[in-house]
Amino acid sequence: MHAGSRTVRTHRYKWRQILWNFLKALPFWLLIGGFILIILGMTVTVFLSAFSTHWFGTVLPAGFTFSWFTKAWSEYDIWLYFKLSLETTFIATAISLVLSVPGAYVFARRDFPLKSFLLGFYQLPFMLPELAYALPVAAIFYKLGLAETFTGLIIVQLLVGIPFSMVILIPFIEALDPRLEIAAQSLGADRLRMFSRIVVPQLIPGITASAINIFIRMFGAFVVILLISGPKMQTLNVMVFSVLSATGSQPQPMLDSLTLSLMLPLLLFTFLSMWVSRRLQRRVGK
């Protein structure tokens, strides 16, 4: 009986501890769950409204249609802004990779004065608020005549793409076996051939991950693009913001369809990034 009562007390103590831990964590999980529900609720509301024929006083819309997207794309010429966003982002991504791969290799393989300072400088765009560097960049671009130009949009995206690509690529290069590079040079390969034949093929997973991530980041860049784009060189996100902040007469489903026109590509690129990252991790693991 004595052993049995001790077992009962032990079980009661464990259950009390479990209950107490649950009660302590309950406010945190309620806060997190409430935040997630609010975000999901707003997203689902915008999604349903963009496809609704009529939605007033009911839980779900009365019907669904694609007509709001058709009207929005024809009235605001969304394809032109979407095309401009893709063109500038693709070009900026390619240039960022061409410039960042050799730079990341130097940072990963060489020691030189001010290396830590330069690495910290490359990380400034991630630590500073975007407005902190967007305002001086916009002022310089207007003085140089680069604002409201196609070239200016590409250059300003490089200010984001190159540092972000460097931060991604440096760990990939540091993980490579330097003995392969030493062996290639001992067999007569110059630095250019060694870099193109030995380093770059091993960096394909890192280059792919870097390309997708900087593409998403540059495609979604907003503040600095808003300040230098002007009315004739607006990217898709700037155009959507301009319409949402200035309109007062458009139906809400049309405004929601404009919002989805920006959200859906970003979500698609994000899921593509996650899928490619998993594939690369599995391949590298093998």
Residue 134 pLDDT greater than 80, yes or no: yes
Q: What is the pLDDT of residue 281?
A: 63
Residue appearing with tokens 């600095």? 224
Phi, psi (deg, nearest 5) at residue 52: -90, 145
Note the pLDDT tens digit of each residue in 35-92: 888 888 888 888 888 888 877 777 778 788 888 888 888 888 888 888 999 999 999 9
pLDDT of residue 168: 86
pLDDT for position 263:
84
pLDDT attached to residue 285:
53
In the structure encoding, which two tokens stand for residue 164, read together?
């972000």
Confidence at 247, pLDDT banded by 50, 70, 90? low
Phi first, then psi: give them for residue 64, nearest 5 degrees: -130, 145
Length of the chain equals: 286
Provide mean pLDDT across the span 21-43.
82
User: CA dist 228 to 137, 142, 278, Å?
Assistant: 9, 8, 36
**pTM for the whole thing?**
0.78
Largest interatomic CA distance in the chain: 91
**Contacts for 70-79 with beta carbons within 8 Å, 24 or more apart?**
71/254, 71/257, 72/254, 72/257, 72/258, 72/261, 73/261, 75/254, 76/239, 76/243, 76/258, 78/236, 78/239, 78/258, 78/261
pLDDT over 80 (residue 16): no
Task: Tell me: pLDDT of 211 over 80.
Answer: yes
Domain ranges of the chain: 2-65, 68-285
| Predicted pLDDT of residue 155 | 92
Which position has the token pair 């898709």?
A: 236
- pLDDT tier, 283 (very low <50, low <70, confident <90, very high otherwise): low
What are the Cα distances from residue 271, in Å, to 227, 264, 274? 29, 10, 5
The CATH code of domain 68-285 reads 1.10.3720.10
